[in-house]
Structure 1
């Protein structure tokens, strides 16, 4: 892939915006970690902090150390010691404490949590950072969006800056645990939902939409689809193609300035599950793994909504009871409820006036919704692909109980003010019915 088509340039787009991405270098291939020296010397960095955990140090960190020593680059080793690294205040505090004041470059060696945490610190401390990927596990490598768990609430921080260089050595990527590789597949499959919801929100709420960026995200999906057969054998060409697709998805987010092209209702479900797992002290599956399962659930919800809208059933009059809703949120979110309640106080997305306004527009676009829903893949197609690579596709496979699944369908939309299938079903007065229906449907899949 010629990354010069996407980086280090400004693109005047037909959408009316100018797109750009601040990443200087992307190198995905064989022995690309050697490129670190060239990139470091190009900018003249003098004091480097290499951030690893005990797994990523073995996977690629020691290779990074060797390259830096060979080039006589001064660096500190910062190893996060926790068995499970969580992107929260504790991890951020440890990094701030360990990174020397004179550091002018952070090299993050890892994937999801290490990348997100180092981006956050890079932005706050105004220090450039590179990322050496150790697994094709998520689409955040090239993003300037950082999801963190702050005050027990999954919070997305936008415009947090980019890695100046992204390196993905295909030999390292191909040796990643298979669960990390399949998590990347799940994260990309989520694009079916979020791209549909981006178009849907453009129709219903007038939200900004860019066909050019949509096309970039579709290219990321194609890169994945053409590589699926090579995943079980850990084919390096397939690993490179998946990594390229994941980085490309991040570039698309960067062009827009938020996560809209890459995150929709499937991510809301995943984030809700994550919060509940952490609150209950349960093992939390990988982000992309949750997104893959969330994609199957979202596809079933689209099928449900399509039937309702095709039936010409009249929409009910909105009747939002805020007091009952507040009690439900406190029960559904536990210690995370204050952040959710605060969001609704600011945006009033559930108010009768807001719902009525959206329903009036939806009434005019019933056929458009049906077309969008028909264009989505059948849940069975995604399930077949996940089976091929032995990835989870059912909620129960990742510890999501029927009760948690229903709660997530009904309440996960409250995490963001972002229109999608969950808000649409709420507006139509069908969200609880849809949750019951999908919970029964998913039990029938083997």
Structure 2
């Protein structure tokens, strides 16, 4: 049963007040130094006298579990026996684990979950609570991802990772002191997740200019307005400076609110995320200790996309040979053959075919789109240059915080990275620069330029220092 909303006003951190006005689910975000002790008051404010069912893993429980329980009990909130999962690679964002959490919560009757943790834990509880029709509260423990306040959860089901739509948390507690003390590898993954919003914004500019998916300006601003400031000081982020971590965390929370307001991950996720999702479907780094995080893979995808955009922007697409592109455009049967031959995991090929078919266009539609591309390219290319940053700058930021910047750091060869550009385009219906280049007949040519001896990847060396794992 969904909790009734109480009439009392919710106290929230000032910087989120306007953003929450457009949120569909989240009513309160309390962010700041030493705010764990406000968990009980916020729970009582938004849920009333319901019982709290805590979910954590061994690591997050050690960091914040006792203080959260104390705050809830001090506020008079009844607390059930917590579910504390192993702090190990065995707990990942699979639907089987969603079912396990859902079964635990359902055995406790009514009440609301309080999840203590980030990434995987938040997504598991979010979808489990959504399937039960219950609201929940999240206590953020690391500035490691943008999903705290997001609508939907990234879950692997039947081998295919995609956003499963479910309500965002009703309330978020983000203690910047706790987040600043998180392992540096978690902060690095948050930087990787956030920095991808730069080329993701460029992808949305393309989709908007081609009249495929219009930009919603208020949502765009939630992500893009704080983005540069949140990433401005990687040196201080790297050493866990509380002010720098606060700025990073706030940028991540704003991205989540934007996805919630838009009811889609479009405002904060572009082709760089598709790189990561593909590698996750293939199980890359899942069994490592610690597991290779989503944000580390997203960061590498961001470099890959920013480098590709540099190649694209050296071309004048206002002179594109539309007749040649339409002549060479394959029929769907040929596209299907290519997808089946693309060395995708066998259990996701059917889903990739469905996603690709959803964005496949007829030759007549393609001609119209490419003619518009030629028309808008002078203005669009200026917008893209203003939006993007050089791949070298992204790499420098990620290296500073200890993230991944070269495929060989995560056991990928350059040949495997090269194939990812084409294969990542297949797994999502969302229109990105990968689709623009495929439709223009330029994807293979532009990717080849990246891997030429003097291209970005062809001339790139593996950093001397390994990414931080602690």
Q: Provide the TM-score with structure 1 as the length reference.
A: 0.91
1:444 aligned residue (454, 459, 465) = 459
Q: Distance in 2 between matches of 1:382 and 1:279?
A: 22
Pair 1:268-2:283 in alignment: no
For residues 105 and 223 of structure 1, do their structure 2 counterparts lie closer, same or farther at Cα, with a shift above 3 Å needed?
A: farther
Question: Match for residue 115 of structure 1?
Answer: 122
2:136 aligned residue (125, 129, 134) = 129
2:54 aligned residue (46, 50, 53) = 50
Cα shift at 1:141: 0.9
Q: Is the 8 A contact 2:281 2:345 kept in 1?
A: no
Question: Match for residue 64 of structure 2?
Answer: 60
2:39 aligned residue (36, 39, 56) = 36
**Structure 2 unpaired stretches of 5+:** 1-12, 462-470
Q: Distance in 2 between matches of 1:233 and 1:265?
A: 30
Question: Match for residue 106 of structure 1?
Answer: 113
Question: Match for residue 319 of structure 1?
Answer: 329
Question: Match for residue 2 of structure 1?
Answer: 14
Cα shift at 1:269: 1.1
- Residues 234-289 of structure 1, C-alpha deviation per residue, up to 9 Å, x if partnerless? 11121112111110111122222211110111111111111123599678521111
Superposition pairs of residues 273-422 of structure 1, within 5 angstroms: 273-277=279-283, 285-309=292-316, 312-315=319-322, 316-317=325-326, 318-331=328-341, 332-335=343-346, 336-345=348-357, 347-349=358-360, 351-375=362-386, 376-422=388-434
For residues 300 and 279 of structure 1, do their structure 2 counterparts lie closer, same or farther at Cα, with a shift above 3 Å needed?
A: closer
Cα shift at 1:302: 1.0
1:433 aligned residue (404, 424, 445) = 445
Cα shift at 1:41: 2.2
For residues 232 and 348 of structure 1, do their structure 2 counterparts lie closer, same or farther at Cα, with a shift above 3 Å needed?
A: closer
Moved more, 126-135 or 84-93: 84-93
Q: Distance in 2 between matches of 1:254 and 1:123?
A: 14
Cα shift at 1:228: 2.5
Cα shift at 1:91: 0.6
Q: Distance in 2 between matches of 1:186 and 1:58?
A: 26
Cα shift at 1:116: 1.2
SS in 2 for 1:130: strand
Pair 1:80-2:85 in alignment: yes
Q: Distance in 2 between matches of 1:124 and 1:431?
A: 40
For residues 98 and 300 of structure 1, do their structure 2 counterparts lie closer, same or farther at Cα, with a shift above 3 Å needed?
A: same
Question: Match for residue 13 of structure 1?
Answer: none
Q: Is the 8 A contact 1:136 1:246 kept in 2?
A: yes
**Structure 1 unpaired stretches of 5+:** 10-18
SS in 2 for 1:75: coil
- Residues 114-160 of structure 1, C-alpha deviation per residue, up to 9 Å, x if partnerless? 111111111110111111111100111111122111111111123x2
2:173 aligned residue (167, 170, 177) = 167
SS in 2 for 1:222: helix
Q: Distance in 1 between matches of 2:402 and 2:331?
A: 44
Q: Distance in 1 between matches of 2:246 and 2:287?
A: 35
Q: Distance in 2 between matches of 1:53 and 1:400?
A: 30
Question: Match for residue 198 of structure 1?
Answer: 204
Q: Distance in 1 between matches of 2:332 and 2:114?
A: 47
Cα shift at 1:232: 2.4
Q: Provide the TM-score with structure 2 as the length reference.
A: 0.86
Q: Distance in 1 between matches of 2:260 and 2:381?
A: 30
SS in 1 for 2:129: helix
Q: Distance in 1 between matches of 2:277 and 2:193?
A: 13
Q: Distance in 2 between matches of 1:240 and 1:280?
A: 29
Q: Distance in 2 between matches of 1:431 and 1:93?
A: 40
Q: Distance in 2 between matches of 1:287 and 1:389?
A: 15
Cα shift at 1:45: 3.5
Q: Distance in 2 between matches of 1:79 and 1:118?
A: 12
- Residues 341-376 of structure 1, C-alpha deviation per residue, up to 9 Å, x if partnerless? 12334x252543443332121121221232133221
1:245 aligned residue (228, 251, 268) = 251
